[in-house]
Amino acid sequence: LARLRGRLARSGSPLGARLLAVLSRDHLTDDDWDELEETLLLADVGAGPTGEIVEALRTRVRVEGVKDPAAVRELLRSELLAIVDPTLDRSLSTERHPGPDGSGVPAVVLVVGVNGTGKTTTIGKLARVLVAEDRSVVLGAADTFRAAAADQLETWGSRVGVPTVRSDRDGADPAAVAFDAVRQGRAEGVDVVVVDTAGRLQNKAGLMDELGKITRVITKEAPLTEVLLVLDATTGQNGLTQARVFGEVAGVTGIVLTKLDGTARGGIVVAVQRELGVPVKLVGLGEGPDDLAPFDPEAFVDGLLG
Ligand code: GDP
């Protein structure tokens, strides 16, 4: 937590400094409120949530007669937290399930998102976390579209010591690879199978088809316990558009927001959470195997406020 807060703070967030500058004024003028609004927009909080937050804050300052800048900051903190919602369950479902014959089947985590957002890296980091918890893991390289994708996943697999199921030919049927991975995981009594997918967003019908088929074949073998959508925090409001599409086609259960280390615009968390109503569960804080952290709403909002 301290690490997350420290790293968000170190990302040089101008939001904290700017907010503090605005909120430390004795009396907030219309210009100050505009500046506050602009600061939130610049941090990628998004137009909708920003409007609501500023409106709610103005009302509370007026109605409750709040003057003290520290108290205004506290109100802003509570408005942000109300959207990010600390009460949501952010745990990952990675428990084995009882099978039809009582033998038990692996949990299956499907990882979706546009290419380049950090899916493969996130899977490597996640496998590392699971292995550290003494869980056995199999990776499925169902991104058969890009030739290098399976190699990259396999490299992460060997790095963290877990096997990767892949096809030996390019352009193989992604659903077939996903099926093989889950079947192997089941045969070997593995705890969690994590399946990588190709994120081709050019064609929504195609994406829906592909993810639908992958989902169907997986659930023949084992329950799909998590569908994680990986979003790149540095893509700002574009990420939201992607999130919307995947949210519609993939039945997303949680969001992984990557590259938070590389942006001062972490407000995208607020926008994403509001927009999708799906909790941000994990955040990526770097390219290394240990750079994945559970998302902590309070630490996050404190980091944002600086
Ligand atoms: P994929 O195409 O969605 O599988 O994306 P990759 O896993 O290949 O990641 C794309 C690039 O983003 C790689 O260079 C990763 O090292 C980098 N990356 C992934 N996650 C993070 C993160 O949390 N922080 C930073 N700084 N880079 C990341």
Quick one: average pLDDT of 133-139? 97
| 116 CA distance to ligand 1 middle (Å) | 6
- Cα→Cα distances 133→119, 126, 191, Å: 21, 11, 11
Q: Which residues are annotated as part of the binding site for GTP? A: 113-120, 196-200, 258-261
Residue to mutate (ligand 1; options 144, 258, 261, 269; most atoms within 8 A of CB): 258
Give the model confidence (pLDDT) of 190-226 as tens digits: 999 999 998 776 677 888 888 999 999 999 889 999 9
Tokens read off for 174 = 């992604």
pLDDT-wise least confident of 73-87, 179-193, 235-249: 235-249
Measured distance CA(51)–CA(245) in Å, rounded = 24
Tell whether the model's pLDDT for residue 284 goes beyond 50.
yes
Pick the residue whose CA is nearest to atom 20 on ligand 1.
118
Tell whether the model's pLDDT for residue 34 goes beyond 50.
yes
pLDDT-wise least confident of 177-191, 195-209, 243-257: 195-209
Q: Place 19 in a pLDDT band, splitting at 50, 70 and 90.
A: confident
Pick the residue whose CA is nearest to atom 12 on ligand 1.
118
Quick one: average pLDDT of 107-126? 95
pLDDT at residue 8, rounded to an integer? 45
pLDDT at residue 166, rounded to an integer? 95
**Residue among 164, 121, 109, 112 nearest 139 (CA):** 164
What is this model's ipTM? 0.99
Pick the residue whose CA is nearest to atom 26 on ligand 1.
286
| 112 CA distance to ligand 1 middle (Å) | 14
pLDDT: which is higher, 103 or 105: 105
| 121 CA distance to ligand 1 middle (Å) | 6
pLDDT-wise least confident of 105-114, 121-130, 240-249, 254-263: 240-249
Tokens read off for 239 = 């990420």
pLDDT at residue 12, rounded to an integer? 47
Quick one: average pLDDT of 115-129? 96
| 217 CA distance to ligand 1 middle (Å) | 28
Q: Which residues are annotated as part of the binding site? A: 113-120, 196-200, 258-261
Quick one: average pLDDT of 134-163? 94
Tell whether the model's pLDDT for residue 14 goes beyond 80.
no
Burial group, residue 179, by CB count within 10 angstroms (0-12, 13-18, 19+) = buried
Tokens read off for 8 = 């968000």
pLDDT at residue 243, rounded to an integer? 84
Residue to mutate (ligand 1; options 139, 287, 292, 295; most atoms within 8 A of CB): 287
Tokens read off for 243 = 């999130």
pLDDT-wise least confident of 96-105, 256-265, 292-301: 96-105
pLDDT: which is higher, 27 or 183: 183
Give the three-class secondary structure for 10. helix
Residue to mutate (ligand 1; options 7, 110, 115, 121; most atoms within 8 A of CB): 121
Nearest-atom index, ligand 1, CA of 291? 23
Sheet (strand 107-112) strand order = 164-165, 137-142, 192-197, 107-112, 224-232, 254-258, 280-284, 292-294
Cβ contacts of 284 within 8 Å, gap of 6 or more: 118, 121, 122, 125, 256, 257, 258, 259, 260, 261, 291, 292
Tell whether the model's pLDDT for residue 10 goes beyond 90.
no
Handedness of CA 56, 58, 60, 62 (dihedral sign): negative
Tell whether the model's pLDDT for residue 70 goes beyond 50.
yes
The set of long-range contacts for 29-34, using a CB threshold of 8 Å and a minimum separation of 24, is 33/58
Quick one: average pLDDT of 127-135? 96
pLDDT at residue 13, rounded to an integer? 53
Pick the residue whose CA is nearest to atom 9 on ligand 1.
118
Measured distance CA(157)–CA(164) in Å, rounded = 6
Nearest-atom index, ligand 1, CA of 146? 2
pLDDT at residue 185, rounded to an integer? 96
Pick the residue whose CA is nearest to atom 6 on ligand 1.
118
pLDDT: which is higher, 92 or 237: 92
**CB 261 near ligand 1, within 6 Å:** yes
Tokens read off for 226 = 């998590």
Round the average pLDDT of the chain to a whole number and report it: 87
| 137 CA distance to ligand 1 middle (Å) | 21
**CB 120 near ligand 1, within 6 Å:** yes
pLDDT: which is higher, 170 or 295: 295
Q: Place 92 in a pLDDT band, splitting at 50, 70 and 90.
A: very high
**CB 262 near ligand 1, within 6 Å:** yes
Per-residue buried b or exposed e for 20-35, using 16+ beta carbons within 10 Å of the residue's own CB:
eebbeeeebeeeebeb
Q: Place 106 in a pLDDT band, splitting at 50, 70 and 90.
A: very high
Quick one: average pLDDT of 10-21? 64
Pick the residue whose CA is nearest to atom 28 on ligand 1.
287
